[in-house]
Amino acid sequence: MKKYCLGVLFLSCASAQLPAQITVDTIGTTIVHIETVVDTTHFAGGYDSGPWDLHWGPDDKLWYTNKKQINRYDPITGINDTILRVNSGYIMSVATHNDFANNPYVYITKDTSAYYGQGTLVELYRYTYNAAVDSLENPLLILNWGHAGEHSGGRVMVGADTMVYVTTAEYYWQIDTLFNNSGKVLRLHPDGSIPNDNPRPDYTWTWGHRNPQGIVQTPNGNIITSEYGMLHDELNVILPGNHYGWFVFDGVSCFQPVDTCNYYQTFVKFPIDIGQNPPSGITWYDHPSIPEFHGILEAVTGNNQGLMAYTMNAAMDSVIQKPVI
């Protein structure tokens, strides 16, 4: 039986004399030591406190959103600091350019309200990192979109093609605009302009999503989103120009006449039903320390909270083994 140490959100090592904050657990045949490295004392208080997004920064620190702040945890020193603080709103997601040395850009999504579920508008900003003073500067508002209630998407990622991908939520009553609850994956240049190879002459990359809450690119280039469904939550392989069914079809269940859903069943590509455990952020895990985690690693909420791991096929476009919570 293998033994490894798992820090919350990243690997860490523990001595034989385990301090009180470390919990020992077993994942498959692997023994892990789970250590809390950032606890609730570091988060802003009030309703829905806690991190909305996590990102391994280009400085080898863990960046995490904290309401009006982006904080960083240094795994070497154990120090937490703040790299960005905004005057208002609720920061939902953070991503950095993958050629950060030449393009020191940081992208954030921010709801305009004090809590995202109370607002109606999400904004995408680009900041520039100033290494001389270790801060984010020159915020550029790239775009915004409307949302109703707590479904707002708001996850951002920079792809291997250096394009920025961002999710919006709720394709509702077939209102197909960016500003009216339209559930999409958007694709844009790092400067905010529209790529000329997008499937439509706007930011739209895919549409027909309900509430995509996670986005990740696999090592072979596939882009996968995690999505709140109506009856069935999903992982979806994102192919440009595809419609993913909502509000007619959620990949498994039909909410309209069957003949209508038959169209979407031929158009939707690779919906992966993950049951009723609302998904949050996802990442790709391929470190040998915990082989049971290999594949898509997902944070889930709702009745069953924690991490779930999905083993993928060789093409990384389908789940071949679902996790047991």
Domains in the chain, please, with CATH? 1-37 (no CATH), 46-321 (2.120.10.30)
Q: What is the mean pLDDT of residues 231-242?
A: 90
Own/partner pairs for 186-192, CB < 8 Å, 24+ apart? 186/143, 187/163, 187/240, 188/142, 188/143, 188/163, 188/164, 189/163, 189/164, 190/97, 190/103, 190/105, 190/126, 190/158, 190/162, 190/163, 190/164, 191/126, 192/126, 192/140, 192/142, 192/143
- Spatial CB neighbours of 80, under 8 Å, sequence gap ≥ 6: 38, 42, 71, 72, 73, 74
Give 122-180 pLDDT, tens digit per residue: 999 999 999 999 999 999 999 998 877 778 889 999 999 999 999 998 755 556 666 66
Confidence check: pLDDT of 73 > 80: yes
Does the structure show a pLDDT above 70 at 10?
no
Q: What's the mean pLDDT in 74-82?
A: 93
Query: How many residues appear in the chain?
Result: 325
Going by pLDDT thresholds of 50, 70 and 90, the confidence category of residue 275 is low
Give me the phi and psi of 314, to 5 degrees please: -65, -30
Is the distance from CB of 22 to CB of 8 less than 8 angstroms?
Answer: no
Residue 69 scores a pLDDT above 80: yes
List Cβ neighbours of 44 (8 Å cut-off, separation of 6 or more): 66, 67, 68, 69
* Band of residue 27 on the pLDDT scale cut at 50, 70, 90: confident
* pTM flag (> 0.85): yes
pLDDT tens, position by position, 185-230: 999 999 999 999 999 999 999 988 888 999 999 999 999 999 988 8
For residues 107-116, b (16+ Cβ closer than 10 Å) or e, as one string? Answer: bbbbbeeeeb
pLDDT confidence tier of residue 270, bands split at 50, 70 and 90: low
Phi, psi of 116 (to 5 degrees): -60, -30
